[in-house]
Amino acid sequence: MEHEQSRRLEKRRRKRCVILIVIVVLIVIVIIAVVLGLTLRQNKMVLFQHFFICCFCIFRCTTDCQKVWDAFEQAYVNKDPCKVAVEAYDPLIVAAPFKPQCNRMIFWSKTKDVVHGFTEKRDCFVTLEDTLLGSVLDGLTWCGKEGSKGTFTTGCPGWSKCKNNPVLSFWRRISAAFADVACGNVTAMLSGSIDTPFNSTSIFASIEVVRFQASRIKSLNVVMVLQSNCTDSSLNNLRQSLDTGITYSCKDVHESRIQECGAKPEIACGACW
């Protein structure tokens, strides 16, 4: 119980830290723009780096913050923003590796708001966006340009404009790294409100599931939310995609039940679904 409370307090400290950094960043943008007459775009380029480094220094004091930034930046700087390969982020994974959190790792597809609404309130599970790399860069946009050493936060290609854009390649790479350290009993939250809950083109299906190894993972427990139906035919493909030796189970759970568990810490995590 004390360990869970400690983790919850740490999560709150991180969240407050991010909020404070954002506030400071906004203040600095205004001051620099007014006093020095610099453009907002130039400020964002500099402040994106400061935001990234500050988050790493505060969250993980033992991390070489500048080293992590350099590994991140080299993936896309001075490159065509539609030609950033997934492998370009390999040095970043080496600089800031993921740590296994057996029996606590939860994956998701088309249920981001639901799963994060739960993990923000309860410390039962950890999503990719709850990790250091995921939490720092979730929701942000960045890219480089040929002939420039800068990091840009505007004028970058959208998520689906080109396959090898900096943001999509980043999430594909760290999704693979997160799946590579999955161990014990793994959970996945899928949406039952769409035609194909297990879509072969999703990051969960095409990158994460295929990296699940029976030598590390004992079981995959699927939680179907919203208009749930564990009998959906696409889940047959999920079962067939699993490495031999990984046990599969699925349970239909209404979103209201997940929200209730998030709001009531007295409900044991194992009783949420």
pLDDT digits (tens, 9 = 90+) for 167-204: 999 999 999 999 999 999 999 999 998 889 999 999 99
Q: Three-state SS string across the chain, please?
A: CHHHHHHHHHHHHHHHHHHHHHHHHHHHHHHHHHHCCCCHHHHHHHHHHHHHHHHHHHHCCCCCHHHHHHHHHCCCCCCCCCECCHHHHHHHHHHCCCCCCCCCEEEEECCHHHHHHHHCCCCCCECHHHCHHHHHHCCCCCECCCCCCCCECCCCCCCCCCCECHHHHHHHHHHHHHHHCCCEEEEEEEECCCCCCCCCCCHHHHHHHHHCCCCCEEEEEEEEECCCCCCCCHHHHHHHHCCCCCEEEEEECCHHHHHHHHHCCCCCHHHCC
How many domains in the chain?
1
**In-domain check, residue 271:** no
User: Does a structural domain hold residue 55?
Assistant: yes
Instruction: Give a yes or no: residue 273 inside a domain.
Output: no
Instruction: Answer yes or no: is 46 within a domain.
Output: yes
Whether the predicted pLDDT of 44 surpasses 80: no
| Residue 162: CATH number of its domain | 1.20.82.10
Catalytic residues: 102, 183
What local confidence, expressed as pLDDT, does residue 31 receive?
45
Q: What is the mean pLDDT of the chain?
A: 85
- 75 falls within a domain: yes
In a domain, 272, yes or no: no
Instruction: Give the domain extent around 218.
Output: 2-266
Residue 188 lies in a domain: yes
258 falls within a domain: yes
Using the predicted structure, report yes or no on whether residue 3 has a pLDDT greater than 70: no
